[in-house]
Structure formats: C-alpha cells, structure tokens
Amino acid sequence: MDFLPIFLNIRGRNCLVVGGGEVAARKTTLLLKAGAQVRIVSPILNDELNNYLQSGSIVYYAEAFDPKHLSNVVVVIAATNQPSVNQRVSEAANQLNIPVNVVDDPTLCSFIMPSILDRSPMLVAISSGGASPVLTRLLRARLETLIPEAYGRLAHYAAKFREHVKRHFTSPEKRRLFWEKMLQGPFAEMIFSGKDLAAQAYLLRSLEHGTDESLHGEVYLVGAGPGNPDLLTFRAMRLMQQADVVVYDRLVSPAILDMVRRDATRIYAGKERDKHVLPQESINHLLVRLAKEGKRVLRLKGGDPFIFGRGGEEIET
C-alpha cells in the first residue's frame, strides 16, 4: 500500500484550507461535514466560501499563506492554482509533522483525500493513491447502486442496541452470529422499508426468544422493466440479491436473472398463450406456501407487474 487508510476525528479541531476557489470550497464543505473548525487563507473567496463566511461557518484570513497560519492546526489542504504556493504549504506542514493534502499533486501529499460514499455513520472511502481520481469516482458510483441510503439507519440501530446485545450474549461468537442474522434478515429489511418501530420490536423479541426465521417469510413483487439491468431500481437489485427463492416469468431477460443471488432457488412460472407452466392460482398459492416456510420470496415479473402481469391477484392472496 502506498497510503495507510485511516479515518481522522477532526470534530471541533482546527483545519486549514489554503485557497479560495471552487476546489477549496469543495474541501471546506467536507471538513465542515466532519465537524471541523475551518480556517481559510486566500486573497479572495468565491461565492460559496463567502456564504460560509457570512454564516459564521469559517474563519477567514484575506492574505497570502504564511507558515504562521499552521499554528494549532491538525490538518492542512492546499487548493490553490499556484504550484509554488502549494509546494510552500506542503513543505511547511511536513516540517511540523502536520498531515497535508495538495490537490492534484500526490508527490506533495502526506495523505490523500478519497472519494467518499457517505452512509453516516457508515463511510466507504475509495482511493487510487492519486493514480486515477476519475476511476475512484466511477467505482464509487458503482457502490452507490449496491449500498442504499438506509444502511446509515441500519448502522445507527446496530449502535443503539450494541450494549444491550453485548449484555445478553457474553460470548463474542454468539454475538457475531446474532448480528449476522439481524443485519441480513427481517430486521434489516424492516429498517430499509421504514418500519423502524417494528424492527426494534423484532430485535428485542429475538433477543428474548431467539431468531425463529420460520415465522418471518416475506414476498417481494418486483417488476423487472423492459429487460435492461441498468434500468432496475436500487431496491429491486437489493431484493434480488437477498431472496431465497425466485419465481420468475417468461418475459424476464437472462441479463436480469443473472443478477439474482447465485444460490437462490429458481422457479419458472412462465406463461405463453395456451401454454401455462403454472396456472395463476397455483402461482398465488406457491408464493404463500414458500413465505409460510420462512423463505424470502422474490416474485419477478417482466415489465410492469400491474400492466403485463396479474400482480394485484398475487398481492391479494
């Protein structure tokens, strides 16, 4: 590794940004989100930084950089368009052993600003060590599709009940197994669906009586659209990855079916004119039976299940 990936706690601490333009504003926004006290050194400020100044969010020094600006600072970012100034900032910070980042110049950096996927309190940081910032942004975009916003809420509730679970299970191994079941099962799905109170009740009930998954089967009705995987919603992709059983129609394209969890049981229920593999009534009862067995069932239909399919009947059953 060229850089050690770490997460710094800068809440309430002084951080210095040298520069007053667009790039400096982006870095300032990140520092403020992390709770830092931000100082800006630059002869001029752009509109965004001026807004921060007017709101009292930053401290501003309308002057050229001087090493005196590094007093009582824990992190420095040089974001000017003048290489000589950036180099002076880097040299002065390194002499004082203060972590320094020089935008777009890895050779002058003691740390790299990664591309960040923010699901607070969950954070995913991606870096190429300065080799290809564009590639890190593309990878982050790919991860955006796999990690929904609700993972932040899931982490919040895991933290909330962490000590409660720790008191209940004295064995680290038992705690690990319990959290694996919670974070991949009905508890997580309730959080993702916004059923926070039901999720809390389920977790507490599971602590007292164990996690009897046989009581918690569910059916997800998903429309696969016109067949292009790029048009699936984030939630559809997540449900496809966690289903135990997939009941799918003839109109579901192979490319879509390839995105289903590899070890899920696949049941073909395709219907063509005058040729039904499973009659509709049989499909309805199949979904109910599988759910009662504790399975997470994905009913996958091509197109819109309420236009091309009989989704209403299946929901009613």
Of residues 204, 249, 205, the one with CA closest to residue 227: 249
CB within 8 Å of 187: residues ≥ 6 apart: 181, 199, 202, 203, 206
Integer angstrom CA distances of residue 244 from 10, 72, 288: 43, 55, 14
Structure tokens at 170: 């004295």
Out of 105, 181, 195, 271, pick the active-site residue: 271
Q: Which amino acid is at 125?
A: A
- Could you identify the residue written with the tokens 């038992």? 174
Q: CA neighbours within 13 Å on the CB side: how many for 301?
A: 18
Task: Please tell me the distance from the alpha carbon of residue 132 to that of residue 140, in angstroms, as a whole number.
Answer: 13
Structure tokens at 298: 């994905």
Contact 264, 239 (CB under 8 A): no
Out of 27, 249, 295, 301, pick the active-site residue: 249
Q: Does residue 271 have an active-site annotation?
A: yes
CB within 8 Å of 89: residues ≥ 6 apart: 18, 65, 76, 78, 100, 102
Task: Please tell me the distance from the alpha carbon of residue 301 to that of residue 186, in angstroms, as a whole number.
Answer: 23
Write out the catalytic residue numbers: 249, 271
